[in-house]
Structure 1
Amino acid sequence: MRPTVLLADDEPLVRTGLRALLEQQGITVLGEAADGAEVLPAVRRTRPDVVLMDVRMPGTDGIEATRRLLAEPGEQPKVLVVTTFDNDDYVHEALLAGASGFLLKRARKEEIAHAVRTVAAGESLLFPEAIRRLVSARPPGGKYTRVAKTLTRREAEVLRLIATGLSNSDIAAALVISLETVKTHVGNIFGKLGAANRSQAVVIAYEAGVVRPGHLAGQ
């Protein structure tokens, strides 16, 4: 599979560098956007697999652009947030908006290419420790608490294992249940939380207090 990408960043030099890097790694760049307001028209025109989205752009930022894009009917490209800092509040909001993961601009070219291929294949780029840092300063509660209470005990258990970075197969082995049962639980979790992917579900779970930092593996 040769993934296709749209670059959204207000800095021309950054877009040029990312284009060169991605094309060296066998990934096709279909277009560019210099502002969040340009993302949706560019996506409609080029139909990429992934949007590499800078969160801090003048005018319409990457968070609002992500919301608008993922609110569109039909299947939309995956959003991979690109940022300078891994504790950025913008990243937290972008993940809540439905981004499939995030990357640091200082990441190595192999890491960026791997991330693009991962989300293009329909998988979330889940970094448990990084997500924990993003939400650790935020007390649980708020608008997600009520919906989280609709999770069954088993669904909450599965969600905590997702938050440690386990795959569906790993969760099935840990709980001694079938893979299909895990997939059913994951689908139910996404439906109840209104989550588009694993990263968004985990951020919501932290916000609601279903998952806490101590639930991470090894803690």
Structure 2
Amino acid sequence: MRKWETHKYYFSVEAPTEVLYLKWLENMILESEEAQSQVKIIARVESPMKMVKKLNTWKVNEIVHTFDFEEIQNEGSFKHTLDHMKKAEKTKHIQYRLGYSNFCFELWMILYKKYVNRHFNHRREYLDLINECFGTTFESLDKYKKEANFLKVLSMLSLEDVKKAIKNAERIMRNNQIDYQSIAYKGFRYYRENLSLTFHEHIRKILKEAGII
């Protein structure tokens, strides 16, 4: 089937790792025989306000901001980012969507290979699971995030793994709805407790609109 229609998606992100991931996802969909349309993902390492200022936003209805909750003691910083997302919305009349991970983006990568349902005390605890899931021996998260190393990890994945990660993330969030109270703040919702995330919601939307799920 010829893939005539193109869906565009916009992400502002915290780090180059997320840009590499989203470009990988775009390429995987474009190469997929399952896909019924083309996708274009525009991802930039920018704050919400800088992102909207650089975009020709009259053509953009929605932007996802992808960032980490970090830890409970940094909730003030997390809310500060939500403040900026809301301010960016009003400045350019677009919809900013929340694509967070608690603690960090590494949770999303782990969910490609296994379901996890336990509390983490420190970011470094993700490293052991990264190495376990991908058969790697990274000495630190910084080494894992080096472009060549991260691209090597991505090369081990498929769109079937993306579907698995989405299901694992949805399972986590269903459990959170039972066990915890979500926080509402300026039109956004999140959980203080880890594990939690909303990044998967936006990836699911991309795959659905491409006809892959």
Q: Under a length normalisation based on structure 2, what TM-score does the superposition of the two structures give?
A: 0.37
Larger RCO, structures 1/2 (Cα 8 Å, 6+ apart):
2
Higher strand share: 2
Q: Under a length normalisation based on structure 1, what TM-score does the superposition of the two structures give?
A: 0.36
